[in-house]
Amino acid sequence: MTDRIKISSKCRKNVHERAQRLKPGYQTQCPHCMKLITFDSDFEDPDIRRPLKAARDFRTRAEEALALARMAPQEQRRDPAY
């Protein structure tokens, strides 16, 4: 499971950004066409809304996995030979 989210820019080339950064209000620049990409959930553009939803889903799954890992019983780390 990778933490990179694929984004289609205005020049239709793919840009990858970390899910932790993709939140409403975040801005990044397309390395191909140098246009500024602003992420806002109010935009009608599916190329903006889809990565925001994917990043939100990724963060939710990561938090759930972390909570499950913390709740899992700790196995004994002792060597049974002692």
pLDDT means per 10 residues, the chain with 82 residues, are 84 90 91 90 85 93 89 62 60
Query: What pLDDT shows up at residue 74?
Result: 61
Query: What pLDDT shows up at residue 46?
Result: 86
- CB proximity list for 54: less than 8 A, separation 6 or greater: 5, 19, 22
Query: What pLDDT shows up at residue 17?
Result: 92
Query: What pLDDT shows up at residue 11?
Result: 86
CA 26, CA 38: separation in Å to the nearest integer? 6
pTM score, two decimals? 0.74
Query: What pLDDT shows up at residue 57?
Result: 94
